[in-house]
Amino acid sequence: MIRSARSMAGLPWIAAMAFFMQALDATILNTALPAIATSLERSPLAMQSAIISYTLTVAMLIPVSGWLADRYGTRKIFILAVSLFTLGSLACALSGSLSMLVVSRVVQGIGGAMMMPVARLALLRAYPRSELLPVLNFVTMPGLVGPILGPMLGGLLVTYASWHWIFLLNIPIGIAGIFYARKYMPDFTTPKRRFDFSGFLLFGLGLVLISVGIELFGERVVLPWQALLVLFGGIALLLLYIVHARRHPAPLINLPMFKTRTFSVGIIGNIASRLGTGCIPFLMPLMLQVGFGYPALIAGCMMGPTAIGALLAKSTVTQVLRRFGYRHTLVGITIIIGILIATFSLQSPGGSVVMLLAALLILGMAMSTQFTAMNTITLADLNDENASGGNSVLAVTQQLSISFGVAVSAAVLRFYQDVEATTVAQFHATFLTMGVVTVLSAFTFMMLRPSDGRNLIANREKKKKAT
């Protein structure tokens, strides 16, 4: 009982630490890409593989994390995850080439894929449902602070130290996480179940080939038909996974949940709409530094309003959804996001900084509203049997959308390098294109019905009145 009490007391802090490390790492690198590119003697516009390698690895391995934790225990797998993330960070700092950096980011991604899901799984098993909401709110707060600190801290370290410290920063946090996990993390296990290894290979390799195919179009290291062949190879493997999952008794990802219309629309909408929003953390710091000539510190600070806007919008999402409903909110807010992304094509080195910061603040508020609405409607109508699997699929989709957003925007940017004469014009054309893509993605949410999600809003109102 003493061990259990000690574990319960420290567990939320461990989960919060994991969320902070992931959120910080996801945003701190973007500001430093030009400095890393200079150090590794590469073009800043060809550094997207350093981001994609991490997010794609996380997306591939999220479905595996739950099975590993169930089989070997949450404490053991969490310590392994933090250890890999920390060692991967050290390897990133020691990288002398882009290839070595990408490999090191993959090691980081293996740890990152297990770190937060396993911590969240431990919380779900340690706390009764009635106590879970305040615990999860506490855990997610560092994840909201990370995107604010990330770009600023990245710019600060690049300006006054070196880009290597962006990764070295994770090491003391990781060591502390391992120490406290040994002391406080409960070691929950469940009865052994068979792992769908064939399904994992088909699904994972399919995602890799699709992402690599998109990136090959941008890098132009092979002929277009060869890149297309890789892309179609990835799609073929995903189709083979669907055939496999229909026959397997316990597939990696269950297909029946996709019969739930709101879940399917939410997943498709996540992928389509985040192609635009996923490109912002990658493209904006690059344009500010490479195109406008801003120092890394200033470029990092200028990304702050997006995260601040996301925090501000948290308190208004419920009122917006209550007034307009999920369908109208998602269609309208996605169009607004697309227009805002397109307006970045009007920014220039001599333009108003205040207008740019205001647009980034509003974009952060709009993105926060869209993400919250998408996430809740995606899981709203799943039954208890599919809820866990649906949550994993949503997590995979979110990571994939970041990877695809970076890959697609980088390919578009490469295309405009042959069309537009100046670097600024190339970024302008890319933002305009990604804005149009985002506006078009709004039509995905037209498949929702006006009544969808009404029960979610009604239940929130009942709980609010009860308290």
pLDDT, position 1:
36
Q: What does the alpha-carbon distance between residue 331 and residue 297 come to, in Å, rounded to a whole number? A: 35
Give the model's confidence band at 457: pLDDT under 50 very low, under 70 low, under 90 confident, else very high.
low
Residues 119-154 pLDDT 10s: 877 877 777 755 655 676 677 667 667 766 788 888
pTM above 0.85, yes or no: no
Q: For the chain, how many residues are written?
A: 467
Q: The tokens of 64 are what?
A: 């595996």
Cα maximum dimension of the chain: 69
Assign 463 a pLDDT band (cuts: 50, 70, 90): low
Whose CA is closest to 418, among 400, 434, 430? 430
Q: d(Cα 107, Cα 154) in Å, to the nearest integer?
A: 21
Collect all residues with Cβ–Cβ distance below 8 Å to 219 and sequence separation of at least 6. 46, 414
Residue with the two structure tokens 């800043």: 44
Buried b vs exposed e over 241-268: b needs ≥16 C-beta within 10 Å? beebbeebeebbbbeebbebebbebbbb
211 pLDDT more than 70: yes
Tell me what pLDDT residue 144 has.
63
Is residue 301 within 8 A of residue 286, CB to CB? The reply is: no
Q: Is pLDDT above 60 for 271?
A: yes
Predicted confidence at residue 5, as pLDDT, reads: 46
Determine the Cα–Cα distance for residues 328 and 450; give it in Å rounded to an integer: 7
Burial class (CB in 10 A: 0-12, 13-18, 19+), 357: middle
Q: In 3D, which of 119, 106, 10, 134 has the Cα closest to residue 65?
A: 119
